[in-house]
Structure 1
Amino acid sequence: MSSFKKSIFISLLMWMLILLPNYAFAQDAEITGSIVNVRGGPSTQNTVITKVVKGQNVSIISEQNGWCNVKLSNNTVGWISQDLLKKLAVNNTNIQKPLPVPDAKPVPVPVPASKPVPTPIPVPKPVPNPAPTPAKTIVNVAPYAVSVTGSIVNIRQSSDTNSAILTSVKLGENLTVYGKQGEWLNVKLSDGRSGWIAGWLTKEAHSVVTPTGNTLRLPIGNRNLVLTNLDNGLKINLSGVNENDYTLSTTTNQTDLIIKVNNNGVKSAKKSINTWGVKDISIEPSYIYLSFDKPFTFTDSYVRSQLEANITFAKVQAQGINKIKLNASNEKSIVQISAKGNLEYTTSNVGTSKLYVDIPKAELKLSSANELEQAVNYGPIRKVLAKQISSDIVRLEVDLASGAICNVIENDGYLILAGRLGNGSLKGKTIVLDPGHGTIGTGGFSDPGAVGRDLKLREKDVVLGISLKLRDSLVKEGANVIMTRTSDGKYLSLEGRAAIANKSNADVFVSVHANSSTNRAANGSSVYMYAPYSKPNLYNQRNIRKELATDIQNEIVKSAGRKNLGVKEANFSVLRNTQVPSVLVETAFLSNPEEEKLFNTDGFLQKMADGIFNGLKTFFKNN
């Protein structure tokens, strides 16, 4: 083959290789986020092309700096964050075969008399990523309502996922929108603050009603519901009703009023109010439902001459916070917040070194201005700053030392912020061990717990044996161990067991039990935790409680070798009433013949104790 023909052949081969994609195959992946943006480039600054939902499959074309270039089922190509994808097994049908290489003997090409230099074949230039989209301006809009579609959604200070979190809202909660910036919505909160929520985590809800002056009138069939704003509360008049045709009731938290009345077949409707403390009003054929942003009390009367029901509302008075005191030491810090009544609270973290504690229905009534800001240069809690962020919400901004852990403990008339330095050791940790049962119950007899069918072993005895061995191991490591009981015959309720952990400000509470079932084949080990969304003081500890349960579950299965029944959640009294991270360990089944025999050996009790011990070591190493 002549050198010119060789040059032509090599150039054609290079051209084909250039045209091949920069990947050997397209790999399928599944969307793991609820609603995920597909962008024009590998950055959150790039334009959103479209959106995909959880469970949808895409094909990965290439990867760059934590982003995947993907192809959707409708052939749209864009970029998705790698964190929001789960790669699936490679599907051979998706493998792209390389283009065929020309035959070694190409069709002869006429050779000119002179041998010109082959013209170089142009190489395609890579297409640059789209330039970042410039910041969008804030657009004011006529107020309209949206409903939250995510489970728990953050309200942020500005329209950016890196912005500070003001608060959180939950699924189904309604908000009023006053402005937009790109895909973000500017909303007004019930406490008067405004913030930003991701628009893709909301949907448009019901209509917004705006009052005229101090009055708002809603027609309901042939009658009217009139709201009048008063200086010290709110008055509602419902016209066109007979005295015995309506009833009033409130929900247990005193934030909702239900007027049961026949509305003569009106259609269901929901009106967003968001003023004077009223969030929204739902109108149904058989009732009217008013939702308030804060608890209230009400009185009602009836005017026969006008066929009118009058309802007057007064907000529940805010608790006065009269003392905030920071007591600090090198290893532990305590902040006590005192009031005349019980205080509610929610918490949120800002990074790893700041904690916000918001106390609703409260106002600062401190005896000294020095208590507003208290700071030290040692210990886990370095500074506490108290602010009245609205008329009835107090916020504590707590600055923490690096690696510090802070728990909030609720007691009658005060809150305690307990800070510790997480040194990864058991030394100095306060651990409450609770051997189940064994206390005096109804009739003056000791509660035996479950009883084995074959050897008649009693749960109270085997779990005490495990707990005493565990105590000895923890003490050797320098832990401060508190036992709820060390023998039988003690009068102690389930709530009393939890109170021991709360009063001692323990790091963790571990209740040790043996399981039982009517099914004698049931066997294995499990660990229970409890932190429901409905109980904010427990839900704030959800991650830490789950981690504690998981660490202990993994280690007891490893040590004792029983079936892994996993981490479970249950509303047990000792878990519900402990203010500190707590778990309940079901070591094995006394009702199972094999496991009852194991409980009768000292070696098995030691293995269970070792498993819980190693689980606690793992937990404190990571926390």
Structure 2
Amino acid sequence: MSTMSFNSLRKILLLIVSIVVCWSFLVIETQASTGTVTGSVLNIRDGPGTQYAKKGSLLKGASVTITESRGSWLKIKLNSGLAGWVHVDYIKTSTPSTSTPAVSSVSQGATGTVTGSVVNVREGPGTQYNKKGSVAKGQKVKINAASSSWVNITLGNGVVGWISAQYVKADPVAENPVNNEPTPASSNDSSSKIEVTGSIVNLREGPGTHYLTRGQVSKGDQLDLMEEQNGWYKVQTSRGIAWLAGGLARVLTPPSAIAEEIQSPANPVPVEDPITPTGEIPLPGEINSNSETPSKLPGIARVMLDPGHGGQDPGAIGITGSYEKDVNLTIANKTAQLLRNSGVDVLMTRSDDRYITLNGRVDIANASDASIFVSIHSNSTTNRETNGTMVFYYVDQNIPAAVAQASEREQLARIIQNNLVRSLGRADKGVRQNNYVVIRYTEIPAILVETAYLSNLEEEMLLNDIAFQDRAAQAITNGIIEYFTSKGIL
């Protein structure tokens, strides 16, 4: 080997060693660490830097597993298996205690104690499974099976489900155990009851929305729990045995446990436009457990009106230059005044020309205790001949509470559509389902009105006509009052 070749090889080896040494300062494996999100909305990115694409976001309080550190960025993994990078400034790190016995090593039939404040019980070993109820800190459970991440348990009332292994600690085995199983719930034990979390919840003849209704129960009602089947609870009511959707109730814990509202670890909220200055897209996931009461029908008539678009977002632009945001706001404000004159309590996502993110509108509605949500829009298409009126609603089949609320959503949409067609005389484009953010994630019956087409010259002129706007507002008002009357709250 020549001197030149040897020197070249030596330089290459030194370069490789330097790179490895530098990389060791930048990359630190932290497989045993966990963390909690401290920022209100934290972006998840494809790589360690803001130049990488966003793949979702997490809300404050979410728990994550930290697998790697690179400079000021952490690589995290969620319980759902999703991985990505977040900025270290918005994660509070901790190292799990090694003194807690591994649940996976516990023999079948042992008992455990819940360590999380209130922990979700799920149908399967993962956050993608539906929630069946909850257990509170200090509650005893029977351990049927376990893996490194999830534990199959039986509650005192016989309900079987899965909880995250990090929130249950195996009880030490006594030398002369008398009874390692939780005490079965008696008929008077609160653990054999469920509490309704939806404001108004249908009771049905069987475990599914295709069964006939047998009346309704209200938020806070407590019922004897008989069994659980496919996400539905079989309960004893004053009118006999009935079923209700598990997503609209929670299993009560024993009086000695601290019964708070559920706060699951690593539960990203399934929204598509969170309230954040950057307007970034969060990852799809499950409903935040603090928002688990999607059926709100208070005893007063309260509506949330949502004039579509606004501010920097003009919406559709008509042939002559009309902005959809302006038409929507005018009709919404007219509707609000008519409703207030009729004794209806009206709230609005916006009452002037301002920009609000899609999820911002959802959050406003969900925090309002409104009975219904009506989003007002003007339609548009590339075919200038298309005209008419339509109303949308949506039922996400992956959200049990929304499924239980399906009939209310469709009923509201049909009533509003019928009133609009009758009043405006435009083509009846019908009632349809579409996966719009503002009607998918609202926790109350929600619809989206497409009054007429700005892309059609005749209808653009009508949408800017005061008399037409008045008729549209009156039709929406009449539909809302008709709906409230049918529910007995007006």
- Please give the range of the TM-score, normalised by the shorter of the 2 chains: 0.3 to 0.5
Greater share of helix:
2
Q: TM-score, normalised by structure 1?
A: 0.38
Q: TM-score, normalised by structure 2?
A: 0.48
Larger Rg, first or second structure (1 or 2):
1
Greater share of strand:
1
